[in-house]
Amino acid sequence: MPSTPLRRRRALALLAAPLAGALPWPVAAQERPLALVLGFPPGAGIDALTRQLGERIAPALGRPVIVENRVGAAGRLAAEHVKRTPADGSTLLVAPMAVMTIFPHTYRQLRYDPAKDFVPVAHLAEFGLALAVRADAPARTLQEYVEAVKRDRDMGLYGSTGVGSPSHFFISMFERAAGVSMTHVPHRGSADVMNALLGGHIKAAILTVNDISPQHAAGKLRALAVSAPRREATLPDVPTFKELGHDIEGSFWYGAYAPAGTPAPVVQRLSQALVEATRQPELRAQGAKVGLQLTGGGPDVLARVQKADHDRWGPAIRATGFVAED
């Protein structure tokens, strides 16, 4: 007959077995760090936000949190990686809107399905774009800019952060709304766009509010309109496109996703930690300084926004005839 200590260990094991399913996530996963994976390099805006969130959710989750920068293919490599990871709560994808709503329209053979391969966890933040010209440009308002473009096609030379970027497609929407034809000059990043505009190589730029607002405040650029539904705190004197009679708007966002199949209690626990972190006043204030509005929406909010933006951007993308190279 087994000894008393052995019988006791067996009894405890039997008692613990039913409780294992009630844990927030599998014990093996809980013992590992939580990896927040993003497809952009250190120093990018999404990287800074992810690291700050990681610092704040680690104590709430009772486990280390690390940030993995899997750079490449505008965020697609990171999505492909997270798709293949175990659905046990040990890995989350932190992605910009384009990865989940625009790329499905632009790539013929996307190697992940946003709707099938991921589970929404949290809507983290949103930000807007601004259309700007040099401070010495002849156009002081958006209407004057439209008239200038109609008179002189060179005034329609505008820069963005790349072909197939949200800013590229937003200007496509603006062209149709304003009845103008502009010429897209893609660049590798916002710094290149800014240098080209300040150097006079292009006549306008569509960049994030964070990129435009310091140069607008310094008097080097003139922001003409912002894409968000409401005016931006860092550009309070700049109207929205809708205010100016153009029925277009665009709020861009960051979201967190888990691999498909992650248990609902695990998703809820991770979501709760992220949402609570985004609601901390200090982090919200830091975000506001760089044009980020921290939103803190749960899985249902992220799923709803993702579906709405997927449907809304489809026509704008198809109108350009753009197809991305794999």
What average pLDDT does this structure show over 101-127? Answer: 95
What average pLDDT does this structure show over 100-126? Answer: 95
End-to-end alpha carbon distance in the chain: 67
- How much of the chain, in percent, has pLDDT values that exceed 70? 90
Global pTM value: 0.80
Which of the two residues, 181 and 15, has the higher pLDDT score? 181
pLDDT at 291: 82
Give yes or no on whether 32-126+251-320 and 129-226 have one common fold: yes
For 42, left (φ over 0), alpha (ψ -120 to 50), or beta? beta
Q: Are 162 and 170 in contact (CB under 8 A)?
A: no
pLDDT at 31: 65
Cα–Cα dist 99/313, whole Å: 13
Q: Are 169 and 252 in contact (CB under 8 A)?
A: no
- Each residue's pLDDT tens digit, 67-95: 999 988 888 999 999 999 999 999 999 99
**Which architecture, in CATH terms, is 32-126+251-320?**
3-Layer(aba) Sandwich (3.40)
pLDDT at 297: 97
Find the helix or strand (DSSP H, E) in which 134 lies.
strand 129-134
- Each residue's pLDDT tens digit, 220-262: 999 999 999 999 989 999 999 999 999 999 889 999 999 999 9
- How much of the chain, in percent, has pLDDT values that exceed 90? 70
- Say whether pLDDT at 142 is over 60: yes
What average pLDDT does this structure show over 152-159? Answer: 96
pLDDT at 3: 46
Domain ranges of the chain: 32-126+251-320, 129-226
Q: Are 166 and 322 in contact (CB under 8 A)?
A: no
Cα–Cα dist 195/197, whole Å: 5
Structure tokens at 12: 């405890």
- Say whether pLDDT at 19 is over 70: no
Task: Return all residues near 58 (Cβ < 8 A) that are at least 6 apart.
Answer: 34, 64, 65
- Say whether pLDDT at 28 is over 90: no
Cα–Cα dist 86/109, whole Å: 23
Enumerate the H helices of the chain as residue ranges.
Answer: 4-20, 27-30, 45-61, 76-84, 97, 103-106, 142-151, 166-178, 190-198, 209-217, 264-278, 281-289, 299-320
**Which architecture, in CATH terms, is 129-226?**
3-Layer(aba) Sandwich (3.40)
Q: Are 246 and 173 in contact (CB under 8 A)?
A: no
- Say whether pLDDT at 27 is over 80: no
